[in-house]
Structure 1
């Protein structure tokens, strides 16, 4: 894939995630993908990959934070004993 496609897909995914965060519409990226796909399947695929990567990273980061919080809570409980 060309650098242009990757750069455009990345920026569009970033902007789309911002809209999703602000509006609470977690499926908005599907609408954007449909609009892109009508003109460029290549850009659509790159965009959806960028979205999936960002969503996976958010999910993983949330999991990591939750596990660390849980661990620290257990330590505090042990220290109080």
Structure 2
């Protein structure tokens, strides 16, 4: 369902921003617990969005490093 994925991604983006601002990794789990009390489906979509966004960030960091090593080409 598109709505669930959209909501999960929107929440994941905000949570990851807050984690970056505070350094508090527990926020991901705290939000997961709150979501899970109301909707297991949304909880699963949220955790998937968290994993995908983190993987994207790692990939983009690697791409930036590789670009820098190759003179920014």
Interval containing the TM-score (normalised by the shorter chain): 0.7 to 0.9
Structure number with the bigger relative contact order (C-alpha 8 A, sep ≥ 6) is 2
TM-score, normalising length from structure 1? 0.78
Q: Which stretches in structure 1 are left out of the alignment for 5+ residues?
A: 74-81
Equivalent pairs, count: 72
Q: Under a length normalisation based on structure 2, what TM-score does the superposition of the two structures give?
A: 0.85
Once superposed, what is the RMSD of the aligned Cα atoms?
1.6
Cα deviation per residue 1:3-60 (whole Å; 9 max; x = unaligned)? 2211211111111111111111234212211111122110000001111110000000
Which residue in 2 is equivalent to 1:79?
none
Residue 50 of structure 2 is aligned to residue 51 of structure 1: yes
**4+ residue runs of structure 1 moved beyond 2 angstroms?**
none
